[in-house]
Amino acid sequence: MTRTDNPMKIYALTLGMFMVNNYLVVNPDTRRAILIDACEDYQSILRQLDQLKAELVYLINTHGHGDHIAGNGAIIERTGAKLMIHRLDEPFLRDPNLNMSALLGVSLQSPPPDRFLEEGDVVEMDGIRLQVLHTPGHTPGHISLLADGVAFVGDVIFRESIGRTDFPYASHEQLVETIRTKIYTLPEDTVLLNGHGPETTVRHEKAFNPFVRG
């Protein structure tokens, strides 16, 4: 999937054991890119960058679960990209129990972040602006990123579903409040690009999501 909102083109790469949607946000003129989340199939992500002849500048984790951070180390080593995450999810990067890789018999650790992202921050690159929303519930430091007409929402909300809250430090009540106050208040035609499954819109979820009614 690609979008052509100038100067931003989005490539959605659905990869890995958990079919994670990893998003490359690229300025096609400068050929510089931002990666949102990095699953364990880092080879495919790097291959896409090579095919695009794009330089990866930033790697942003929406949250610290293993399926979204497993590729951090290899991608940062290869590209030199700067890593960003919310301060509250930084411990997940280095604790296999928190990032839940220990459940799979893996001791997953990520390089440390170069920058913490907080509510209201903006990540800018070559005319691309990603505004940070703190959207907790699935994890304490989960963030979403707003661009022109789209929101990268990680595992907050899916098409007619919501993120899991049976994990350590998750909260169902907080997640529902996040969706109502941070997601459902966006313009209704905003496209929600989530961490797993097909894209959706604010309008569709307000009408049809059985877990959080608009």
Residue 4, in any domain of the structure = no
What gap in Å lies between CA 168 and CA 150, rounded to an integer? 29
What's the confidence (pLDDT) of residue 158? 98
CA 195, distance to chain mean position in Å, is 6
pTM exceeding the 0.85 threshold for the entire prediction: yes
Q: Residue 144: which of 127, 126, 131 has the closest Cα?
A: 131
Q: What is the CATH number of the domain that holds 24?
A: 3.60.15.10
What gap in Å lies between CA 87 and CA 102, rounded to an integer? 22
Residue 79, in any domain of the structure = yes
What gap in Å lies between CA 169 and CA 69, rounded to an integer? 17
Number of domains in the chain: 1
Cβ neighbour number for residue 122 with a 10 Å cutoff: 11
Q: Residue 74: which of 101, 102, 36, 109 has the closest Cα?
A: 109
What's the confidence (pLDDT) of residue 124? 97
Residue labelled with tokens 């390089």 = 111
Residue 69, in any domain of the structure = yes
Q: Residue 148: which of 211, 180, 193 has the closest Cα?
A: 193
What gap in Å lies between CA 205 and CA 196, rounded to an integer? 15
In the predicted model, residues of the chain with pLDDT beneath 50 are: 1-5
What's the confidence (pLDDT) of residue 6? 60
Residue 3, in any domain of the structure = no
What gap in Å lies between CA 213 and CA 30, rounded to an integer? 42
Residue 103, Cβ density class (10 Å: 0-12 exposed, 13-18 middle, ≥19 buried): exposed
What's the confidence (pLDDT) of residue 213? 84
Please report, as a single letter, which amino acid is at residue 129: R
Cβ distance 160 to 205 under 8 Å? yes
Residue 106, in any domain of the structure = yes
Residue 213, in any domain of the structure = no
Q: DSSP letter string over 123-161?
A: EEETTEEEEEEE--SSSTT-EEEE-SSEEEEETSEETTE
- Sheet hosting strand 122-125, strand order edge to edge: 122-125, 128-134, 143-146, 150-154, 191-194, 200-201
Cβ distance 155 to 204 under 8 Å? no
Residue 74, in any domain of the structure = yes
Residue 91, in any domain of the structure = yes
Domain assignment of residue 97, given as a range? 9-208
What's the confidence (pLDDT) of residue 94? 97
What is the dihedral sign for C-alpha 155, 152, 28, 73?
negative
